[in-house]
Amino acid sequence: MSNMLFPRWMNALPTVAAIGAVGGLTTAALGTWYWATPEFWEVGYMPTQPGTGFNHQIHAGRLGMDCRYCHTNVEDSHWANIPTVNTCMGCHTEGKLAQQFDPGEKVAFVREAYAADQSIPWRRIHKLPDYVGNFPHHMHVDAGVSCYSCHGQIRGMPVVYQDQSLSMGWCLDCHRNVEDNIVGPSKVTDLVWVEEHLKERARGADNATPEAKRIIESLKSSVAEGGPQNCGACHQ
């Protein structure tokens, strides 16, 4: 019992230590405490990016580039990746784009970073606290949860901001209701379609594709109604 309430990762939490010192830490108290933590305090976080920034509305929206052209490991790795300058230079090497499409001065910071063999210091937007030791990013994408569900309508964002709270309640809400969120692996990056599709589903439409239906059924029976809810799954 005490092992369950005081697993090792909690040592990193000063607040937990403080409460633990005052007296018994009951699950009930813990419950009130975590449900009482603010749900939305980081929503909207939008740091200023280096240079002229990177515009998803232009690249992923207007030019229609797939997310995986740049975020190459979202299906394979525990952590998503930000592309290197090399990926940008595939198009932004001087003279590659036809004159009328070349953003010229606006990509000077990209060319300079490349020439100096440096990476662009993009500022991180989505970041879970270290004590959330296990968030297998790829497993979510592979189970057919769209980028849209966790990052919002990136295709319409000139500057990326945090769209969802990333709170514990938010994780658990989805794990308890996977049927509201699975669109299937073949659709995960089709964000415009996904937004419309999930809005219809929220209004009650039974619109899951056969691919999505199969996954929903298998998750419901295999992963305790669709996703882990035991503390150790996410805190390790």
Give residues 91-150 in contact with ligand HEC (rule: CB under 6 A): 91-92, 97, 101, 103, 106-107, 110, 122, 124-129, 132, 134-137, 139-141, 143, 145, 147, 149-150
5 contact partners, CB below 8 Å, separation of at least 6: 25, 27, 30
Which distant-in-sequence residues (6+ apart) come within 8 Å of 41 by Cβ? 165
Question: Minimal distance in Å, beta carbon 209 to ligand HEC?
Answer: 15
Within 190-229, which residues bind ligand HEC (CB under 6 A)?
Answer: 191, 219, 223, 226-229
Q: Based on CB atoms, which residue is closest to ligand HEC, 71 or 201?
A: 71
**Are 113 and 85 within 8 A, CB to CB?**
yes
Q: According to CB under 6 A, which one of 6, 69, 185, 213 is a site residue for ligand HEC?
A: 69
User: What one-letter code names the amino acid at 220?
Assistant: K
Instruction: From 17-25, 89-97, 192-200, 203-211, give the range in contact with ligand HEC by CB under 6 A.
Output: 89-97
- Residue 30 engages ligand HEC in binding (rule: CB under 6 A): yes
* Residues 92, 98, 99, 102, CA torsion sign: negative
Q: Does 20 bind ligand HEC (CB under 6 A)?
A: no
80 in Cβ contact with 71 (< 8 Å): yes
Contact 135, 128 (CB under 8 A): yes
Q: Judge whether 60 and 67 are in contact, CB under 8 Å.
A: yes
Token reading at 171: 């994780």
- Choice between 147 and 208, CB closer to ligand HEC: 147
Report the nearest approach of ligand HEC to the CB of residue 132 (Å): 4
Under the binding rule (CB under 6 A), the answer on residue 50 touching ligand HEC is: no
* CA distances, 218 to each of 82, 131, 183, 189, 214 (Å): 32, 29, 14, 22, 6
Residue (129 or 200) nearer to ligand HEC, CB = 129
Compute the least distance from the CB of residue 176 to ligand HEC, in Å: 10
